[in-house]
């Protein structure tokens, strides 16, 4: 698509009447159609895919969401939900002829209930805001994606987001009790319950990670946990990435489940250090950040064991943060790794495969070989405890052909993850980005089953169409494309 086509496309009479009806349902400031106003919604965190929506709506009541859905259902108009747009797989990418439904105005924390260890919030509440509100009771919401200052809880549920503390405390799906959703027909459903389980099928699990394909989440009840008495982080440096990987297995085999166990390779260390001045050893080939939490006594005991194991595994340096400020700083370096890498390269492409941890040496070796072949450097940030890799491929989109080469490299990495017994996405979702790789991970019958599940919620396919699960037709074409690779994917999208 040519960059400016969208703006000059005339709206059809049907589209005009949709907009008119939306204006009748919503306050003036809640319906945006001016290209300038639509611009901020044209992409999510994966900005290589961009497209202006036909119209953006910003409701702030559940009744308004219901009315919007009823209208879209009646008129057969597709709807894409959006939180903050920090997603990294193009999940919230708008449709040129569809409605983009932003939940940004659903910002209220409705209830913090320490006695029942839960909080009820609107979907547009930021992840970190929940922990901030719970702090008064000595509690917090455990999943902590690095984007937690910005991303919404609704987006977290839709992506089943993780964070650096998932190994011990689980993903979003493990920390949500109840959802209120509006179906494509405009029906209000309560999924799950305020209790630890609910009658019927585990629809709550199905909603987690469903990428806006099954319903619009309008309220979320999450589990709160008590803040541990103490958290302490150990930094270990290695002169070899494989040794660092083995150290991870040794800690777990010793019966310790760290609160977080993260690994970074040399390029990531240097970028993060330049950015955050976290005190990382710049010349190490890899570092591990191992956080232990619990009671004071237990943390001391585990730190001793962990330091001993790390040294035995060949760490060239092992140290613990001396105070809370240093602990925060060590984590800041890790949590800002993506933007840090963004500073050393015009563009980067973040991958999200997960592998069984024992496959790490094999996968790293193969990636560095391809990196040399493509002439594209890779910085590795790795949720090492749970095997979730984030290779960041460094490239320059202004150099002709480099984006296409980067994407091809990325696709090979994802295929490698599947072959290693893992998955194409650990936490960022399939979205638009990995839709073709779904054809590698799943057989036709499985994809058909996914479509059948989708149809149970949304028979007309109006919620976020074209994302998350490929059509069988698309997979057949992908198979063909595989043969003559090098073609640009999604030629229908504007490229930057």
Partner 1 sequence: MTESHDSLTPHNNVAKDNRAALQQQVMDAIDTRTPLNICGNNTKSFLGRASQGETLSLAEHRGIIEYDPRELVLTARTGTPLTEIEATLAEAAQMLAFEPPHFGDGATLGGTIACGLSGPRRPYAGAARDAVLGCQIINGRGEHLRFGGQVMKNVAGYDVSRLMVGAFGTLGVLLEVSLKVLPRPAASLTLIQECPQNEAIQRMSHLLSQPVPVDAACYHAGHCYLRIAGSEQAVRHAQKQLGGEPLKDSISFWHSLREHQLHFFLSDKPLYRVVVKPATPALNIAGEWLLDWGGAQRWLASDEPQALIREQVSATGGHVTLLRAGAQADVVFTPLSPAMLHLHQRLKNSFDPHRIFNPDRMYAGL
- Which 14-73 residues touch ligand FAD, going by CB under 6 A? 44-45
Residue 49 touches which of partner 1, ligand FAD, none (Cβ within 5-8 Å per kind): none
166 counts as binding partner 1 under rule CB under 8 A: yes
Axis-axis angle for helices 472-483, 444-457 (nearest 10): 140
474 counts as binding partner 1 under rule CB under 8 A: no
d(CA 69, CA 189): 13
Q: Is 201 exposed, middle or buried (0-12, 13-18, 19+ CB in 10 A)?
A: exposed
Residue 24 touches which of partner 1, ligand FAD, none (Cβ within 5-8 Å per kind): none
**Total residues binding ligand FAD (CB under 6 A):** 36
Smallest gap from Cβ 452 to partner 1, in A, equals 4
Of residues 368 through 427, those in contact with partner 1 by CB under 8 A are 383, 385-388, 421-427
Tokens of 408: 């091809």
Query: Rounded to a whole number, what is the largest CA-CA distance in the chain?
Result: 72
- Beta-strand runs (E) in 216-268: 216-223, 225-226, 230-238, 260-265
DSSP state of 104: T
Q: Is 44 exposed, middle or buried (0-12, 13-18, 19+ CB in 10 A)?
A: buried
User: Site for partner 1 (CB under 8 A): which residue of 11, 105, 227, 474?
Assistant: 227
Candidate segments 8-16, 55-63, 159-167, 405-413, binder of ligand FAD by CB under 6 A: 159-167
Q: Are 101 and 62 in contact (CB under 8 A)?
A: no
Place of tokens 């549920």: 157
193 counts as binding partner 1 under rule CB under 8 A: yes
Query: Pseudo-torsion of CA 403, 406, 411, 415, nearest 10°?
Result: 180
Closest CA to 56 of 68, 74, 73: 68
Closest CA to 432 of 487, 371, 493: 493
406 counts as binding ligand FAD under rule CB under 6 A: no
| Contacts with ligand FAD, 193-232, as mask; x by CB under 6 A | ------------------xx---xx---------------
In DSSP terms, which residues pair with 287 in a beta bridge? 237, 264
442 counts as binding partner 1 under rule CB under 8 A: yes
Smallest gap from Cβ 404 to partner 1, in A, equals 24
Smallest gap from Cβ 103 to ligand FAD, in A, equals 4
Buried b / exposed e along 303-330 (16+ C-beta atoms within 10 A): beebbebbeebebeebbbbeeeebbebb
* Residue 135 CB neighbour total at 10 angstroms: 12
Residue 310 touches which of partner 1, ligand FAD, none (Cβ within 5-8 Å per kind): none
| Contacts with ligand FAD, 329-358, as mask; x by CB under 6 A | ---------x--------------------
Smallest gap from Cβ 101 to ligand FAD, in A, equals 8
Tokens of 342: 């963004």
**Total residues binding partner 1 (CB under 8 A):** 93
80 counts as binding ligand FAD under rule CB under 6 A: yes
Candidate segments 76-84, 278-286, 367-375, 399-407, binder of ligand FAD by CB under 6 A: 76-84
Q: Which residues bind ligand FAD (CB under 6 A)?
A: 44-45, 80-88, 91-92, 103, 123, 145-147, 151-152, 154-156, 158-159, 161-163, 211-212, 216-217, 338, 427-428, 464
């Amino acid at each position: 698509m040519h960059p400016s086509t969208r703006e000059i496309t005339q709206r059809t009479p049907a589209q005009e009447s949709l907009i008119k009806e939306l204006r009748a349902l919503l306050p003036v400031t809640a319906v945006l159609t001016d290209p300038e106003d639509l611009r901020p919604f044209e992409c999510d965190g994966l900005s290589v895919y961009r497209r202006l929506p036909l119209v953006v709506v910003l409701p702030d009541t559940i009744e308004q969401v219901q009315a919007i859905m009823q209208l879209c259902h009646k008129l057969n108009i597709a709807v894409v939900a959006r939180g903050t747009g920090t997603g990294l797989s193009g999940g919230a990418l708008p449709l040129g002829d569809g409605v983009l439904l932003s939940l940004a105005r659903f910002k209220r924390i409705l209830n913090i209930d320490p006695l029942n260890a839960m909080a009820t919030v609107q979907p547009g509440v930021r992840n970190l805001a929940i922990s901030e509100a719970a702090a008064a009771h000595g509690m917090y919401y455990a999943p902590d994606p690095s984007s937690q200052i910005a991303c919404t809880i609704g987006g977290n549920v839709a992506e089943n987001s993780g964070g650096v503390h998932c190994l011990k405390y689980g993903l979003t799906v493990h920390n949500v009790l109840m959802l209120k959703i509006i179906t494509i027909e405009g029906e209000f459903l309560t999924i799950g319950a305020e209790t630890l389980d609910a009658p019927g099928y585990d629809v709550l699990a199905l909603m987690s990670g469903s990428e806006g394909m099954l319903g619009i989440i309008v309220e979320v009840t999450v589990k709160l946990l008590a803040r541990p008495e103490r958290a302490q982080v150990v930094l270990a440096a290695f002169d070899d990435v494989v040794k660092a990987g083995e150290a991870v297995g040794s800690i777990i085999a010793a019966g310790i489940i760290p609160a977080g166990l993260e690994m970074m390779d040399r390029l990531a260390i240097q970028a993060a250090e330049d950015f955050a001045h976290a005190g990382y050893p710049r010349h190490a080939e890899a570092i591990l950040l191992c956080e232990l939490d619990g009671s004071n006594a237990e943390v001391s005991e585990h730190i001793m064991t962990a330091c001993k194991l790390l040294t035995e595994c060949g760490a060239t340096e092992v140290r613990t943060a001396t105070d809370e400020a240093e602990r925060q700083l060590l984590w800041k370096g890790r949590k800002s790794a993506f933007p840090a890498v963004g500073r050393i390269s015009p563009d980067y492409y973040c991958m999200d495969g997960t592998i069984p941890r024992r496959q790490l040496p094999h996968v790293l070796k193969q990636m560095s070989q391809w990196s040399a072949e493509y002439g594209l450097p890779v910085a590795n940030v790795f949720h090492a405890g749970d095997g979730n890799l984030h290779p960041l491929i460094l490239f320059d989109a202004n150099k002709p052909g480099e984006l296409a080469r980067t994407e091809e490299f990325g696709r090979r990495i994802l295929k490698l993850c599947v072959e290693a017994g893992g998955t194409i996405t650990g936490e960022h979702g399939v979205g638009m980005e990995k839709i073709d790789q779904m054809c590698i991970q799943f057989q036709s019958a499985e994809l058909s089953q996914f479509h059948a599940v989708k149809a149970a919620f949304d028979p007309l396919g109006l919620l976020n169409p074209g994302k998350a699960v490929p059509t069988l037709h698309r997979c057949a074409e992908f198979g063909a494309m595989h043969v003559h690779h090098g073609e640009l994917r999604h030629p229908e999208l504007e490229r930057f």
